[in-house]
Structure 1
């Protein structure tokens, strides 16, 4: 290489270093400061910017401190489950933002703005960038645009009310097994102490296995165990999730998340292949479970659009939807059941009213679909539990182009956070008793309770509302009705009130309940 060639190479290396240096500086300083300035000009208060991690370290520190001890027995759970966000809003007001790494995240708490964000899902999209999410969950809950529309269209028939009616027998069978087991435990002296949290996880796992895959919980419990572990790893990954390339490093957690991803995929592939073989042999195979209905709907989509490109779901996409069945189907329902039991143990007068209604509708007979839909008091209680203990504490979105939101002009790259647990207990929206358990507020339905505002959205809202909402609520009503028919219950002295988030809202130390046989 001649001298001129060497000089040219040195110049190119210097230019490359300068280019990467400029990109790095833009990422960690210039772009964040530009976004900060644009927000502040519109009256939005922003927390002081800290290089690279933003407020993530403070957020995690406060979260760990909150988790370190139980709280008093009350429904004021926000200081424990969203301590950083609560403190930020108390200090800077609702019209404020914090730093999620190098990106500002703006709180959205006004019902009119929440409605806009939820309705305009093509403009305010799910946040991309967490490199670890692909190992945990995908499917319709994360897709956007035409892909989301296609998957939602294929999935909708499986969750039609007429199809859900067929699954009520699976709800009953699983619930009956659980309460029969409980009856044996209380036989000797008429009462016993039981941690109902693992009981409900097993119940909802059993239900989703029967209703989604036509198999018993035994066949699916390995998947549940793996997905639970993956959820823990996913939560722990947040400090590093937005550092480019970090998920590629061979750390212990990264290796384990990839192992779990591969194993869950293999297990689900086996279940799907078995079902497809049955369907090939017998066209009129029993497709009353979610997997059968999904595969049937997918085949119909492909047949009806055989001359078009990219129709139907691939086998990998079916696997991702099945993972979503497993996680969402178990988590949402077990969480709602456990907090309903805890809350009714704290408020015995509502437990009595719920039991009286169940006995009036069913007596000691097997609950049926029509009767479950006539349980007004149980429904009011369920809504109030969802208000105070929503499964997901917040929803987040992002602008991928310059957007108007109310009076705000949001630059591309602004993230939005809708803190469900804070909106659900906002006194300006719910009154002075917002922190209190009062199912009566839902006596005339959700619209009346919310004054037709978007201030109650435990399953999201708008076009992207959770597709499994009816599945979860019918399952909860079945289990609760059967428990109320057989037992009264109260909190054990050993119970420690400690709601915490592991993707959804869990009882950190379990839910110890004393059951009394009726």
Structure 2
């Protein structure tokens, strides 16, 4: 009898193990490769996958390492403030995409672990994808899975009805008419930073050697906190600090290799702990806010919506609040801070454009403060920001996941495939942008985006289509306010301590900060 029971139990274990193994093989191997084969049969080539679990990740690492060694040998990745700065950082950062584009053509396939990608740089197909309004394209699953501790199921990472519901709540609070009413708030926050810079310059004898990107990050955090959550940066400082720490850990996450995110390694344990701490702090903030619901800002709209009908059935009200607060905290300050930092670097390296932008700002402000009407007149500064976003867009790639089989330009893209638009490559196509594609030339935007290149769809710093960044008006206005105040008060040049090293983190950041010599005008 015992032998019969043992054999039965063994059969059950073996059966369950077999089912689990088949499921893993389906998820990790058969399904991703099946998607790639469907595209390959339609004439889309790509590099062979050399690893069972990692796909083309080993090739990406190898190609990247080779490009880095070659660039270091030529002195292209490091430059002193007085030297010539190369803006062609994708030749190292996305060397594998450029290599495969040269080998396989403008559209090609590859896999990152279990994630199949269709990389698209053919402008006809890019245009069709950008103009599409189909609900069959959503955000990639790895945002909410591999990068879940930061993005969760919030507006940045969700798809389908969940995203539609969240967008109805968040987007109206960031429409242009609402954002224009935030100018005074932005000026107030920026003035505090400007005064601190003036104090430092005076204390150092008229010129200060300053790392500005940290200050700009704190300023952007203060602005988003005041504008959207009714609090100052100091009140939410610990949340921002821990989010920044979480970002640092997520940079090293092996996207596309799902097994690793469940292993209790030290890095994973640290991420899980931070995720719990951030959630706890956000809920404490929410609890305090519920006691005073007089303000009608974005935070209040999120709180009210969490109790309404229409909330996605698979999302709790608490998750809705926490995930969207994290999304807005991150997207609302990290991208504008890094872009402002790159903008100051470029103006410091190009004094003729700094002088032009300052002359315009001084003429418009006339010793006053920026307001919505004066900001609309800042044409040169707008051109400078657009060119900064072309060369150093914080979001380096747009990815959409096919939620259903979709067809574009006679190409049937199977459900589950990720469509990748490499912003940093599209922003540098010589046949679209001209022979000066690798130069800082804001003049190209003198007649707007449509006059800057041969196809407006090649410029996408805020994303594309229905999923375009809901905060783009807020970001542009904030950058104009902050940069105009800095230009009107200070003159700056690159410090010899500045090391030009763009780094691919969750956004494109100056790897060693932006260090400037700053004097008062």
**Is the structural similarity TM-score above 0.5?**
yes
Matched, 1:265 2:279: yes
Show the counterpart of 2:56: 55
Show the counterpart of 1:495: 498
Whole-angstrom distance in 2 between the partners of 1:49 and 1:9: 39
Indicate which of 120, 131, 139 corresponds to 1:126.
Answer: 139
Whole-angstrom distance in 2 between the partners of 1:257 and 1:312: 22
TM-score by length of 2: 0.89
Tell me the alpha carbon deviations over residues 387-426 of structure 1, each in whole angstroms, 9 at most, x when there is no partner: 1110111011222433212121223332221100000111
Tell me the alpha carbon deviations over residues 19-67 of structure 1, each in whole angstroms, 9 at most, x when there is no partner: 4444444445544544443323222221111221012233345556777
**Relative to 1, partners in 2 of residues 1:223 and 1:21: Cα closer, same or farther, differing over 3 Å?**
closer
Indicate which of 67, 89, 94 corresponds to 1:77.
Answer: 89
Whole-angstrom distance in 2 between the partners of 1:370 and 1:494: 38
- Equivalence map 1:237-386=2 (5 Å): 237-238=253-254, 242-244=257-259, 246-279=260-293, 285-287=294-296, 289-295=297-303, 298=305, 302=308, 314-386=317-389
Whole-angstrom distance in 2 between the partners of 1:193 and 1:271: 37
Please report how far the alpha carbon of residue 122 of structure 1 lies from its aligned counterpart in structure 2 after TM superposition. Answer: 2.1
Show the counterpart of 1:179: 194
Please report how far the alpha carbon of residue 198 of structure 1 lies from its aligned counterpart in structure 2 after TM superposition. Answer: 0.8
Long gaps (5+) in structure 1 = 280-284
RMSD over aligned CA atoms reads 2.7
**Relative to 1, partners in 2 of residues 1:11 and 1:216: Cα closer, same or farther, differing over 3 Å?**
closer
Equivalent residues of 1:129, 1:242 under 8 A apart: no
Equivalent residues of 2:35, 2:417 under 8 A apart: yes
**Relative to 1, partners in 2 of residues 1:123 and 1:291: Cα closer, same or farther, differing over 3 Å?**
same
**Count of residue pairs the alignment pairs up:** 505
Show the counterpart of 1:282: none
Please report how far the alpha carbon of residue 15 of structure 1 lies from its aligned counterpart in structure 2 after TM superposition. Answer: 4.8
SS at match of 1:278: coil
Equivalent residues of 2:107, 2:122 under 8 A apart: no
Show the counterpart of 2:171: 156
**Relative to 1, partners in 2 of residues 1:333 and 1:438: Cα closer, same or farther, differing over 3 Å?**
same
Whole-angstrom distance in 2 between the partners of 1:12 and 1:294: 48
Whole-angstrom distance in 1 between the partners of 2:269 and 2:134: 34
Equivalent residues of 1:230, 1:257 under 8 A apart: yes
Whole-angstrom distance in 2 between the partners of 1:43 and 1:349: 49
Please report how far the alpha carbon of residue 253 of structure 1 lies from its aligned counterpart in structure 2 after TM superposition. Answer: 1.5
SS at match of 1:76: coil
Equivalent residues of 1:197, 1:334 under 8 A apart: yes
Equivalent residues of 1:354, 1:378 under 8 A apart: yes
Please report how far the alpha carbon of residue 295 of structure 1 lies from its aligned counterpart in structure 2 after TM superposition. Answer: 4.0
Equivalent residues of 1:107, 1:418 under 8 A apart: yes
Tell me the alpha carbon deviations over residues 213-252 of structure 1, each in whole angstroms, 9 at most, x when there is no partner: 222222212111111111122121125x5334x4333221
Whole-angstrom distance in 1 between the partners of 2:206 and 2:127: 50
TM-score by length of 1: 0.90
Indicate which of 215, 227, 246 corresponds to 1:230.
Answer: 246
Matched, 1:41 2:49: no
Q: Relative to structure 2, which stretch is displaced further, 449-458 or 472-481? A: 449-458
Equivalent residues of 1:67, 1:500 under 8 A apart: no
Whole-angstrom distance in 1 between the partners of 2:115 and 2:2: 47
Long gaps (5+) in structure 2 = 80-84
Whole-angstrom distance in 1 between the partners of 2:172 and 2:302: 8
Equivalent residues of 1:80, 1:500 under 8 A apart: no
Whole-angstrom distance in 1 between the partners of 2:176 and 2:26: 51
Equivalent residues of 1:223, 1:264 under 8 A apart: yes
- Equivalence map 1:93-172=2 (5 Å): 93-118=105-130, 119-120=132-133, 122-129=135-142, 131-138=145-152, 139-172=154-187
**Relative to 1, partners in 2 of residues 1:132 and 1:363: Cα closer, same or farther, differing over 3 Å?**
same
Matched, 1:89 2:98: no
**Relative to 1, partners in 2 of residues 1:225 and 1:60: Cα closer, same or farther, differing over 3 Å?**
farther
SS at match of 2:117: strand
